[in-house]
Amino acid sequence: MAEKRKDAPEADAVSLTEAEPVQSGEPAASSPKRLKSAPEPQAVKRQVEYYLSDENLKNDQFFHGEIAKNQDGWLTLNLLLSCNKMKAMRATAEDVLAALAESTLEVRDDKLAVRRPGNLTLPTLEEKAQPFRKKTSIHAHDGGIVAIFRTIPAEQSWMQLKEKLREKLPSNVGIWFASEVCEGTSFVAVAPFENDAAFFESLSIDLGGQVLVCEVAQGDALSECAKKLPRYVKEKREKEARKRQKERQRPIMIGNMKFVNVATLRGRVKEIINSRGDDEQLKPGSTDYKIIQSLLDFHPTGKTKAQGMVGIKVNKSPQGGNRCFFMVKEDGTEDDFSAKKCLDAIELDPPYAKIDVTEEKEKDKKKPVKASDVRESPAPAASGDTAPETIGTGQGEPTTALPEATVSEA
């Protein structure tokens, strides 16, 4: 029995943009996630031809092995249809056979398998190069920075490192943990403070005549450091991370539009790109157009890129075939831009909406009073006056609810 194929290279991952490029270089097959009817024959043909191409088979150990096992070079339709991409397109055996009617690929007489033209010799298997990607997460250090120091002189210990770091840190920031120096390396966990990531990214320390450059731990390095943290430090980081996460759940303003939070904006941008076909323009002046146009204000080079822009469209990215936004310029040229970069910049420094205190107080007055919200006031003064009841959370703060909305014109 043939081994079940774990995964086939995907031709087109519908995303915002700047998602990881499809490493196999597989051609796109038309937004399968949005297909509800029969798949386009050309999309199916392109997909199957890719699976049996030299480009794919030189790295695809599974298909390469299955074809090599058959002396006539046949690959069964069942194996093709088990691929994730084919499942996403909802392709059937009949769809594949119809799509390959004008293909150079050969179909076996029993209609159950296909092969390369004339049983073409398979390419030599090559190990797929895996480009190094530094794993990062925007909120990995919400609970406090974990930083690594390397090339520490042999005579220096974690105590000297801690003291030098304390001299650089703001006076009210605590160092929760410093590891033993092992092979010239030590890491520290520090309480969170405003702009702490930027502080550590530019930090250097002179220790024992050696200048130590700080490295903010990311990905696997962060995971390894986290495993070595004492339990009480882990709990502190988790508590602070929850606190920061809660603080971020506030309305933001993009242009003159208000969103409940950044996550809502991300969802809306994804909805905009998924609801458009390839090469489809956004209607100028529409809400969707204004949202994407406003995102450009947060792009690292947005102002420069937007010069001469007269339209915005959705199309496949020239980098890997993912779908993304393009600016249409006055001279007819088009320039793709990364909505992901814009959203990440917003996530790092959210443009929070200003809360109208008067409006919030009026809303609070209209709220029904719950028995659990009523606290007894201190005994009234001797004059006999009755002190007013205070309505709040039980911790001395009045309850204030933020208005909920998805997108509204400010």
**pLDDT for the residue 228:** 93
Which of 28-32, 74-78, 260-264 has the lowest average pLDDT? 28-32
Which of 4-8, 188-192, 256-260, 289-293 has the lowest average pLDDT? 4-8
Confidence category of residue 320, pLDDT binned at 50, 70, 90:
low
Whether the pLDDT of residue 80 is over 70: the answer is yes
Confidence category of residue 332, pLDDT binned at 50, 70, 90:
confident
Confidence category of residue 126, pLDDT binned at 50, 70, 90:
confident
What is the rounded average pLDDT for all residues in the chain? 79
Whether the pLDDT of residue 275 is over 90: the answer is no
- Write out the DSSP string of 100-139: GGGSSSEE-TTSSEEE-GGGPPPPPP-PPP--------TT
Domain spans of the chain, in order of start: 41-115, 146-246, 252-348
- Select 41-115's CATH number: 1.10.10.10, 3.90.79.10, 3.30.360.10, 3.90.230.10: 1.10.10.10
The fraction of the chain above a pLDDT of 70, given in percent, is 74
- Write out the DSSP string of 43-76: HHHHHHHHHTSHHHHTT-HHHHHHHHHSTT--EE
Largest CA distance in the chain: 106
Q: How many other CB atoms sit within 10 Å of the CB of residue 33? A: 10
CATH dotted code for 146-246: 3.30.70.330
Helix, strand, or coil here: 268?
helix
Whether the pLDDT of residue 9 is over 50: the answer is no
Whether the pLDDT of residue 404 is over 70: the answer is no
Whether the pLDDT of residue 313 is over 90: the answer is yes
The fraction of the chain above a pLDDT of 90, given in percent, is 44
**pLDDT for the residue 290:** 93
- Write out the DSSP string of 221-255: HHHHHHHHS-HHHHHHHHHHHHHHHHHH-S-EEET
Whether the pLDDT of residue 30 is over 50: the answer is no
Provide mean pLDDT across the span 158-186: 94
Provide mean pLDDT across the span 46-51: 91
**pLDDT for the residue 367:** 60
Whether the pLDDT of residue 14 is over 60: the answer is no
**pLDDT for the residue 17:** 34
Whether the pLDDT of residue 403 is over 80: the answer is no
**pLDDT for the residue 21:** 37
Instruction: Round the CA-based radius of gyration of the chain to a whole number and report it.
Output: 29
Task: Give me the architecture of the 252-348 domain, per CATH.
Answer: Roll (3.10)
Provide mean pLDDT across the span 227-246: 92
Sequence-distant (≥ 6) Cβ neighbours of residue 381 within 8 angstroms: 387
CB 138 within 8 A of CB 348: yes
